[in-house]
Amino acid sequence: MPTQVTPVRTRPNLMRPECGVVVVSEWNVESPERQSSTVEAYAEAWDSGTWPAGLLTCNLLRSNDGREIVVYGQWISEAHYYAAIESHIRPRLAEVDRAVPGIHRQAPDFFHLHRSRIRDTSIFPGCIVLITFEFENPDSERQKSFISTVFRTVDATLEQPPGALGGHFHISTDALRVLNYAEWATEEDHRRAVDGTGQGRIGSGPGWEAVNGFPGLKAARFRRYAPALLLTQPRG
């Protein structure tokens, strides 16, 4: 049965209980034209052949500057991912590379979803902001404490920014990074929220200073994306 290519206006379920690991890969494609061609080639590569055991969804995001694609894959386990590399993943990447030569891919990162907060499911998130927090050394308990600090700060904020729909906080399996997959209604909503603080980030005040000055936090960065493609496990 062919892969199900879900319309971009479909919101992926990032909280699937059977998902044991999230695999995230960043691709540098250099230009908006190559970005579009890469998404098309990826869809075609997955439109035939068998679906790998253990893969639940494959979610492609395109950076709003036209230079990058992120592949966000939900897998039952790391073992399923590694078992599929030679039989499914590499052959399809080779098809993409034949269509769009010269894509530079970073090694994938592995995460576990730790905690989510959804404010509004009625609005489709037209902008995904991926926020990466890097720490000085591995410590999964510190990462969890950091996420709890963020949630307490958000809960204490009386007025949430317009267009903020939710966030999904992940902990890397090497316990060095926290990834927030933040859902926004539009790119403009996120830009206004960041510009409104005058600090180049969301939120201001003592609570947010505790977040930004969290012990061991080495760096934080964000990039804006738009949903590009959602491949889902075939039914039946």
Digit-coded pLDDT (tens) for 104-120: 999 999 999 999 999 88
In a domain, 4, yes or no: no
Residues above pLDDT 90, as percent of the chain: 77
In a domain, 11, yes or no: no
Q: Answer yes or no: do 142 and 189 share one domain.
A: yes
- Asked whether the beta carbons of 57 and 4 are under 8 A apart, the reply is no
Q: Answer yes or no: do 85 and 123 share one domain.
A: no
Structural domain total, the chain: 2
Predicted confidence band at 20 (pLDDT cuts at 50, 70, 90)?
very high
The span from the CA of 76 to the CA of 65, in Å, is 32
In a domain, 5, yes or no: no
What range does the domain containing 164 cover? 113-224
pLDDT digits (tens, 9 = 90+) for 142-188: 999 999 999 998 888 767 889 999 999 999 999 999 999 999 999 99
In a domain, 176, yes or no: yes
Q: Answer yes or no: do 138 and 53 share one domain.
A: no
Residue 199 has pLDDT above 70, yes or no: no
In a domain, 218, yes or no: yes
Which domain CATH number covers 142?
A: 3.30.70.100
Average pLDDT of the segment spanning 71-75: 98
Model pLDDT, residue 58: 95
Q: Answer yes or no: do 58 and 144 share one domain.
A: no
In a domain, 9, yes or no: no
Q: Answer yes or no: do 34 and 128 share one domain.
A: no
Q: Answer yes or no: do 50 and 22 share one domain.
A: yes
Distances (CA, A) of 133 to 128, 160, 234: 16, 21, 34
Q: Answer yes or no: do 198 and 152 share one domain.
A: yes
In a domain, 3, yes or no: no
In a domain, 10, yes or no: no
Q: Percent helix, strand, coil in the chain (nearest 5)?
A: 30, 35, 35
Residues above pLDDT 70, as percent of the chain: 92
